[in-house]
């Protein structure tokens, strides 16, 4: 029996506690008002859950049933979560739901989660004033928590963050500053809360950006100076917190953005490095640091980190980072690593035409022209792709293929918003067509330039010289070159063109005058084609020693436009005595 005595010893207390609920006259048990409301809430909650178990779909009807539960038990968290979920599912048509929850929250300012949920709904409905007033009232009812000495309440932190953001947006910096000074003070339970300090840093930076820079009465600090000072103090406290304890990259991200805005990437680096001291091998922090290095132009450092993360197998389910690795490698001229990263990205993430275009650019820079062309077959069918393919074909000396590609570029450009076809494009077509021996395409391209700009001296010279070199339309060629010389009479290329057309017409003496002037205008570095022309002209005029001197100099001067082997054969043949 003794084992049951402790239980029965409380019987008198239990009886005295329930006495107010008993009506002896009618022999009934009665609920108090609060208890009655609680009972109704539990009953409604049970009924709604019973319906919910049959049909778990979120709908308006159930949401309003849970609203009734909240009216009787405003602190009930599961009904609140359901109401918020129903609102989130159809925010545009939830004005009535917002109004109902707002009314409940106004009557229960001490309940943090309820008021934050109602304020969030109000903010979505653009009712910022009502949301702010609701949160201010809730904060005043919970003010003792700020300096209670107990552990920080995360819900209260969330409320303060929202309120500070509202003060910032409405430029009510005085109220925001007052709240932050209170909650960040040395006596506050929240003085070292990372989220609140982060909100404070963002707030003070925004306040300083728009505040008056002039001091009051030229004695006191200006608002701008005061807010900047607060910002620096807050940021120092954040750095100390990062040094003492690891914070996730999601927590740091807003502060990194703040550093970017003020172009202070050194501070961003320091913040992440402090964080890494708490968790040196944290891959997410290392990834963030690599991105900061890239933003700061430190591509070599970014590449080292990305490569380390790759060796850790961190990139296996984050293929997008291979793209960043490739960009860092390209910028730091590590082309092999860039190509490997892009190939890996394509293998993991699937075929992407833009990535194949990037690969082609890298392989072009590496001198792997055939690989570049192979990747371009899967690149987007646009002007830049065909233009790049044409360049690769030219590098391989395949001028007919290069011409076909660059002509396809013009066709592709017709469907692009920004027309890339311009004067430079037609000059390139003419150049490639000349190399491919397609005189018709040379004329077509240059005539398109001249149809738009009849006095374009470069086009006039190009067409005149091309005709002269082929030995056709010589009179017309001379007129075109003469017109170009009228615009730029000292241009060595134009003078050479005139010498060449005169040579082709058999007027060697006049040709010598122009070629000598071209050489004189050219200066110390004379083009090898011009020297070869000088040799031909002087030989035709009978001045063989001078001709051989010019040919020898031409054969020793590099130019992709000259067949040096042909010049050397010419020297050998001319030097060989006739049998």
Give tens-digit pLDDT for 18-62. Answer: 345 444 455 443 445 555 556 555 665 666 666 666 666 777 888
Average pLDDT over residues 463-486: 96
Per the CB < 8 A criterion, the answer to whether 164 and 175 are in contact is no
Correct CATH for 459-579 of 2.10.109.10, 1.25.40.10, 3.30.720.110, 1.20.140.10 = 1.25.40.10
Q: How far apart are CA 337 and CA 163, in angstroms?
A: 48
pLDDT at 55: 63
Q: What is the secondary structure of 271-329 as a DSSP string?
A: HHHHHHHHSTT-HHHHHHHHHHHHHTT-HHHHHHHHHHHHHTTTTTT-THHHHHHHHHH
pLDDT, position 144: 87
pLDDT bracket for residue 328 (50, 70, 90): very high
List, for residues 497-554, the tens digit of each pLDDT value: 999 999 999 999 999 999 999 999 998 889 999 999 999 999 999 999 999 999 999 9
Give residue 468's pLDDT: 96
User: Is residue 15 pLDDT above 60, yes or no?
Assistant: no
Higher confidence at residue 133 or residue 574?
A: 133
Question: Is it the case that residue 17 has pLDDT exceeding 90?
Answer: no
Query: Is the pLDDT assigned to residue 3 strictly greater than 60?
Result: no
* Domain ranges across the chain: 459-579
- Does this model's pTM top 0.75? My answer is no
pLDDT of residue 11 exceeding 70, the answer is no
Distance CA 58, CA 73 (A): 21
pLDDT one-digit tens code per residue, 360-395: 999 999 999 999 999 999 999 999 999 999 999 999
Give me the helices (H) in 125-172, please. Answer: 128-141, 154-169
- pLDDT at position 158, please? 95
**273: CB partners within 8 A, 6+ apart:** 289
């Amino acid at each position: 029996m003794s084992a049951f005595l402790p239980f029965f010893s409380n019987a008198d207390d239990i009886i005295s506690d329930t006495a107010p609920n008993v009506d002896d006259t009618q022999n009934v048990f009665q609920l108090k008002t609060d208890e009655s409301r609680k009972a109704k809430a539990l009953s409604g909650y049970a009924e709604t859950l019973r319906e919910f178990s049959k049909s778990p779909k979120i709908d308006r009807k159930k949401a309003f049933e849970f609203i009734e539960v909240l009216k009787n038990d405003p602190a009930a968290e599961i009904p609140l979560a359901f109401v918020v979920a129903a609102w989130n599912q159809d925010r545009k048509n939830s004005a009535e739901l917002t109004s109902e929850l707002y009314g409940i929250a106004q009557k229960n300012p001490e309940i943090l989660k309820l008021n934050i949920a109602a304020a969030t709904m109000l903010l979505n409905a653009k009712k910022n004033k009502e949301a702010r007033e609701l949160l201010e009232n809730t904060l005043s009812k919970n003010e003792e928590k700020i300096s209670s000495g107990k552990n920080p309440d995360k819900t209260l932190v969330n409320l303060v963050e929202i309120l500070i953001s509202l003060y910032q947006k409405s430029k009510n910096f005085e109220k925001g500053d007052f709240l932050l000074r209170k909650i960040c003070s040395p006596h506050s339970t929240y003085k070292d809360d990372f989220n609140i300090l982060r909100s404070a840093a963002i707030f003070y930076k925004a306040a300083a950006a728009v505040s008056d820079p002039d001091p009051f009465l030229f004695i006191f600090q200006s608002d701008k100076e005061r807010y900047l000072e607060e910002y620096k103090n807050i940021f120092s406290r954040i750095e100390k917190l990062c040094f003492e304890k690891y914070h996730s990259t999601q927590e740091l991200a807003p502060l990194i953005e703040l550093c970017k805005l003020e172009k202070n990437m050194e501070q961003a680096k320091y913040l992440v490095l402090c964080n890494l001291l708490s968790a040196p091998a944290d891959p997410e922090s290392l990834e963030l640091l690599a991105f900061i290095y890239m933003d700061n132009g430190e591509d070599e450092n970014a590449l080292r980190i990305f490569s380390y993360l790759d060796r850790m197998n961190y990139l296996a389910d984050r293929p997008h980072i291979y793209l960043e690795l490739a960009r860092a490698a390209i910028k730091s001229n590590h082309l092999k690593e860039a190509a490997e990263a892009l190939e890996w990205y394509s293998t993991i993430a699937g075929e992407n035409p833009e990535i194949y275009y990037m690969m082609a650019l890298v392989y072009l820079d590496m001198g792997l022209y055939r690989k570049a062309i192979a990747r371009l077959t899967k690149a987007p069918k646009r002007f830049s792709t065909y233009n790049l393919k044409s360049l690769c074909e030219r590098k391989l000396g395949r001028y007919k293929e290069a011409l076909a590609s660059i002509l396809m570029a013009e066709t592709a450009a017709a469907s692009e918003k920004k027309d890339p076809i311009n004067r430079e494009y037609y000059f390139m077509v003419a150049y490639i067509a000349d190399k491919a021996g397609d005189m018709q395409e040379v004329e077509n391209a240059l005539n398109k330039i001249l149809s738009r700009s009849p006095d374009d001296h470069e086009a006039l010279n190009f067409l005149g010289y091309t005709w002269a070199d082929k030995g056709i339309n010589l009179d017309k060629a001379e007129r075109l070159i003469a017109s170009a010389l009228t615009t730029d009479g000292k241009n060595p290329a134009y003078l050479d063109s005139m010498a060449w057309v005169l040579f082709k017409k058999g007027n060697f003496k006049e040709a010598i005058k122009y070629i000598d002037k071209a050489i004189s205008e050219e200066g110390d570095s004379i083009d090898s084609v011009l020297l070869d022309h000088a040799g031909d002209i002087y030989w035709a005029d009978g001045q063989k020693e001078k001709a051989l001197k010019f040919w020898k100099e031409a054969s020793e001067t590099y130019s992709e436009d000259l067949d040096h082997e042909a010049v050397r054969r010419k020297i050998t043949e001319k030097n060989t005595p006739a049998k």
